[in-house]
Amino acid sequence: MRQLYPEPADVDLVEAYGRLDRTPGRPSVRLNMIASLDGAAALANRSGGLGGPADKTVFATLRALADVILVGAATMRAEAYRPARLDDGAQARRRGMGLAPAPPIAVITRACRLEWTTPFFTDAPPDQRPLVITATSAATYDRDRAAEVADVVIAGDDGVDLGRALSALGERGFDNVLAEGGPGVGAQLASSGLLDELCLTVSPLLVGGDAKRILEGHPLEPPTRLELRRVLTSDGFLFLRYGRS
Ligand SMILES: NC(=O)c1ccc[n+]([C@@H]2O[C@H](COP(=O)([O-])OP(=O)(O)OC[C@H]3O[C@@H](n4cnc5c(N)ncnc54)[C@H](OP(=O)(O)O)[C@@H]3O)[C@@H](O)[C@H]2O)c1
């Protein structure tokens, strides 16, 4: 992986990204997204077609640096999420930092009607069940069903309040949250001022069509300006790391 900015160098990805400092009062939030050259955040409703080996490496590195992964239910379904698995080196590094071998995944859902028998739930280690973050508006039956296979967090009345969700994650000792989208969740984080870092992979593809962008929702008023921290490149991809300005 070649760094182009702040200065040209060959870099170690773990050092190039590192863990974020805890933001006062809540865990820090890093959003990792990929977009095509023309701004599409998905190809045939999945992000995988935009990526490649270098992107997978960055994706895994960011997971290895996180305490917990946060994702919207539609992304979990579209991308057929499974429990996070890391290679032996990453697991050993995490143990050295006092972290679990892999971060659990927290899925945000209002309806709380997920497919409870998929590997996302059934393959998770017993000591690292997924988290389901939902609201009191979800039916008691659905919340009880979720609690059989996941740790249920109630963080809102009619829908999840992402600020409350982050506080709940912080109370569980998760200081570094890696958000993996989708564009709906990303937009809510940005519009609530809860985004500390955006890691954006620019894929060298033009795809056309009307796919979502990396944030989807109400316009940010005023637009949020971020500060460029790092630019890496490999195999025609750009890996941009932006922080709060
Ligand atoms: N380019 C990338 O890096 C990237 C990354 C991730 C995803 N994607 C793509 O983005 C698409 C999915 O993204 P999306 O924006 O449509 O959906 P999303 O943000 O992944 O999930 C939306 C769902 O999450 C739940 N949700 C979101 N906010 C909530 C809130 N405040 N309270 C309660 N529940 C909430 C709801 O689930 P329920 O319906 O269960 O209530 C909602 O339907 C897929 O095509 C995926 O491939 C691309």
Q: How confident is the model at residue 109 (pLDDT cuts 50, 70, 90)?
A: very high
To the question of pTM greater than 0.85 for the whole model, the response is yes
Within 83-236, strands assigned E span 105-108, 131-134, 151-154, 176-179, 197-203, 226-234
Expressed in angstroms and rounded, the spacing between residue 181 Cα and the centre of ligand 1 is: 6
Residue 126's pLDDT is what? 87
Residue 127's pLDDT is what? 85
Residue 245's pLDDT is what? 83
Name, in order, each residue with C-beta under 8 angstroms of 127's C-beta and a sequence gap of 6 or more.
none
Report the share of the chain in percent with pLDDT over 70. 100
Expressed in angstroms and rounded, the spacing between residue 239 Cα and the centre of ligand 1 is: 23
Ligand 1 pocket, residue 80 CB under 6 Å? no
Q: Closest ligand 1 atom to the C-alpha of 162?
A: 31
Give the model confidence (pLDDT) of 45-91 as tens digits.
999 899 999 999 999 999 999 999 999 999 999 999 999 999 999 99
Cβ-count burial of 177 within 10 angstroms (0-12 exposed, 13-18 middle, 19+ buried)?
Answer: buried
Ligand 1 pocket, residue 182 CB under 6 Å? yes
Cβ-count burial of 116 within 10 angstroms (0-12 exposed, 13-18 middle, 19+ buried)?
Answer: middle
Q: Closest ligand 1 atom to the C-alpha of 159?
A: 32
Give the model confidence (pLDDT) of 33-49 as tens digits.
999 999 999 999 999 89
Distance CA 63, CA 66 (A): 5
Stretch 116-128: mean pLDDT: 94
Distance CA 166, CA 155 (A): 9
Distance CA 131, CA 106 (A): 4
How far lies 206's CA from each of 35, 37, 150, 203, in Å? 10, 6, 39, 8
Give the model confidence (pLDDT) of 135-186 as tens digits.
999 999 999 999 999 999 999 999 999 999 999 999 999 999 999 999 999 9
Tokens of 196: 């500390």
Q: How confident is the model at residue 218 (pLDDT cuts 50, 70, 90)?
A: confident
Tokens of 164: 């409350």
How far lies 165's CA from each of 29, 43, 111, 129, 211, in Å? 12, 29, 16, 17, 28
| List of domains in the chain | 2-18+26-244 (3.40.430.10)
Residue 7's pLDDT is what? 97
> Is 22 a residue whose pLDDT tops 90?
no
